[in-house]
Amino acid sequence: MRAGDVIMTKNKFKDFSNKTVYCKSCHRIIDVKNVCYRYLHSDGTVERCNFCDWIFRHKGAPNIKGYEEYQIKYILEYIIFEKSLYINELENQLNIPLNDIIHILNVLHIGNKKYMVKAKCDFCNKEVEKPVNVYLKNKHVFCSNNCYHAYRAKTIKTGKDNAFYKRICARCTNCNKDIYVIPYNYNKINKFGDNHNFCSQECYWEYRSKYYIGEKSPTMGIKYTPEIKEKMRKIAFENSRNSSRFNSGIQLKINQVLDKNSIHYSREYVVKYFSFDNYLTEYELFIEVMGDYWHSSPLKYNKDKYMINKIQSRTLLHDKQKHSYIKNHLNKEILYIWENDINNNINLCEKLILEYIGNNGSLKNYNSFNYHMEDDKLVLNNEIIKAYQELNSNVYKHLIKDKGIE
């Protein structure tokens, strides 16, 4: 070996100025980025370029059935020399389908080389770039989730038109209406050997109330002592107190008002059978935060606007019982802060709470919607509206949609 033919070292390669070198194996001028410094001589020649080295290490180009050797070598060189990031160009240059080119690449298994596929969105026809593995994995190509869902809505058949539709016609166990259920539910049998299918939640709960009685009742034969009942009740209240679902947006706003004024309070405070949103511990007073829907605000639910449904009717009954218990047993009045006032006039709510405390729980009216602000002062409205929990159910009976619950 001549002195000029010393093989390059890594440090010397950093200072190597030639942009091209001569490959002794394939006898071609090669870009210096496509050779390994270990095979490079200081005179600008290389024993093997990266392409020739791959062929040398694999003992020639592999024989892939259905393809010519020149095609395989062309693809191999294209990837090893990184002629382009996208393999779509090979499709035109070799006149081979894109999926066939991907098949050849998978057989060649060229490591440490990144290549992509250009494809068009199946919905909007926009050109997108995808890694080969993603392109192969998915039957369709989309540029965004919006196009994906739009394509599905347009092309995917639903219900009986879907090829995978396997629902079986059955009858609702409660109302005998024809329904279509999945095979699992159609054949499902409970521990009593019965099969039930329902058309709606209403039918399910209605039938359940008639079915799970007597020997089929899950509590059949279980007897609880008064002590155990009281313990279970306290546990249930404690769990509800710690639940985040009780911290609604309007509840958090009232908590902030109390915190701002350094008023100590207990959340979901339990008194016998009832729990209260805020119990002011220093003053022994009660505040209830009233959602307009759940507690049927008379400003919204009246003969001119909306009717009261079953759920609201149950809540009203509970509110009436809670109000009566506190009034009769503790001689206290509950302050009711309503959602509309909390969201639109939190200053009024703050003033009302402070007056409620300052008067030791005594007010002309205990519902926030019966007050307004004048010159930053709390003023009672001329026309007083009574909340439904203060009235006999016969007064608002005509507003309840289903008369079965009062």
What is the pLDDT at residue 220?
79
Residues 140, 182, single domain; the answer is no
Question: What pLDDT band is residue 346 in, cutting at 50, 70 and 90?
Answer: very high
Instruction: For residue 395, count CB atoms less than 10 angstroms from its CB and return exposed for 0-12, middle for 13-18, buried for 19 or more.
Output: exposed
Whether 246 and 303 map to the same domain: the answer is yes
- Does residue 244 fall inside a structural domain? yes
Do 339 and 290 belong to one domain?
Answer: yes
With 0.85 as the threshold, say if the pTM is over it: no
257 and 348 part of one domain: yes
* CB-based contacts of 376, cutoff 8 Å, min separation 6: 347
Tell me whether residue 83 is in a domain. Answer: no
Give residue 187's domain range: 168-216
283 is a domain residue: yes
- Give yes or no for residue 406 having a pLDDT over 50: no
Token duo for residue 208: 């359940």
pLDDT band for position 92 (50/70/90)? confident
Q: DSSP letter string over 253-283?
A: HHHHHHHHTT--EEEEEEETTEEEEEEETTT
Domain membership of residue 405 (yes or no) is no
| Same-domain status, 367 and 339 | yes
Mark whether 253 and 335 lie in a shared domain.
yes
144-177 pLDDT per residue, tens: 999 999 998 888 777 777 777 889 999 999 999 9
pLDDT in tens, 230-283: 788 777 767 766 666 667 899 999 999 999 999 999 988 888 888 899 999 999
Whether residue 152 lies inside any domain: the answer is: yes
CA dihedral 349→292→241→360, nearest 10 degrees, is: 30
Scan for tokens 């009436």, then name that residue. 320
362 is a domain residue: yes
Is 333 part of any domain?
Answer: yes
Q: Are residues 143 and 120 in the same domain?
A: yes
Asked if residue 138 and residue 46 are part of one domain, the reply reads no
Q: Are residues 137 and 20 in the same domain?
A: no
Looking at 39, 57, 75, the residue that finishes a domain is 57
Question: How many separate domains does the chain show?
Answer: 4
Are 280 and 367 contained in the same domain? Answer: yes
As a whole number, mean pLDDT of residues 188-198 equals: 91
Which of 156, 179, 207 delimits the end of a domain? 156
Q: Are residues 276 and 127 in the same domain?
A: no
CA distance 177 to 171: 5
Say if residue 235 is in the same domain as residue 371.
Answer: yes
Residue 110 domain-assigned (yes or no): no
